[in-house]
Amino acid sequence: MSELCCTVRPNFRVVVAEIDSQPYDPKVTVNPRSPFVLDTRELGRRPGLSRTYERPMAAPAQLGLDMIGVPEGSPMALTVRIESVTEGVLATGSVTAELRGECGRCLIGFTDALEVDFVELFAYPNSLTEKTTDEDEVSRLEGDHLDLEPVVRDVVVLSLPLTPLCQADCAGLCSDCGERLDDLPADHTHTQLDPRWAALAERFGEASSESHRDTRSETRSDTQP
């Protein structure tokens, strides 16, 4: 990935925290020390009780897609309100993170900010919801803990574009010289010599395929879009 350009927010504080560099595996049981895990014993089970948590953290590994994602270890914040409901615990929250991507048109690296919201019910063990739904439909409490990591991963990944762009109107690359069109003057063009003249031009030491804006040549000119 090439160097970053565009807006890098200078005041973004890097939270140095212990992060698990193990690849994420949802089958592993809840790690109570994970910043994504909340202990609902602090909440109580009477419907209507609620608590709010603010969790600054370092982003976990492999959060994103190939071309764009949240860099591992970059600062990220989770804000979540959990509320006891009859069938379980309802978590409503948002995630803010830094994104780093590679433009699908001009291939430069760029950064962006991400903010996504989520709402997720975590069913109590043995609740009617738990008995009548599948685990991949409705999340479960694991003992007294709820793990927001799978939820956060889903909302982050679903919010990412399949073709990331450095800016919405990125013009891409010049198909002749491969330079980034947004870095070139607006009238950038290549004059193609008629093949019949090319041999002659070569003999006189001119570039045969690429003579930039050579007004002397009276051959057809292919202006690039």
Q: Binding residues for Zn ion, per CB under 5 A?
A: 103, 105-106, 166, 170, 174, 176-177
Could you tell me the two tokens for 178? 């491969």
- Cβ 94 to Zn ion, closest distance in Å? 28
- Cβ 176 to Zn ion, closest distance in Å? 4
Sole residue written with tokens 């291939």: 107
Give CA–CA dist 43/94, Å, rounded.
Answer: 19
**Is 146 or 166 the residue whose CB approaches Zn ion more closely?**
166
**Is 37 or 171 the residue whose CB approaches Zn ion more closely?**
171
The DSSP code sequence of 41-96 is: GGT-SSTT-EEEEEEEEEPPSSEE-SSEEEPTT-EEEEEEEEEEETTEEEEEEEEE
- Cβ 166 to Zn ion, closest distance in Å? 3
- Cβ 98 to Zn ion, closest distance in Å? 19
**Is 63 or 173 the residue whose CB approaches Zn ion more closely?**
173
**Is 19 or 171 the residue whose CB approaches Zn ion more closely?**
171
**Is 130 or 214 the residue whose CB approaches Zn ion more closely?**
214
User: Is 172 in contact with 198 (CB distance < 8 Å)?
Assistant: no
Burial of 31 (0-12, 13-18, 19+ CB in 10 A): middle
User: Is 34 in contact with 60 (CB distance < 8 Å)?
Assistant: no
Give CA–CA dist 153/151, Å, rounded.
Answer: 5
- Cβ 164 to Zn ion, closest distance in Å? 9
- Cβ 211 to Zn ion, closest distance in Å? 12
Region for residue 154 given its phi and psi (left: phi exceeds 0; alpha: psi -120 to 50; beta: otherwise): alpha
Phi first, then psi, for residue 197 (nearest 5°) are -90, -15
Instruction: Give the three-class secondary structure for 121.
Output: strand
**Is 57 or 108 the residue whose CB approaches Zn ion more closely?**
108
**Is 6 or 119 the residue whose CB approaches Zn ion more closely?**
6
- Cβ 35 to Zn ion, closest distance in Å? 33
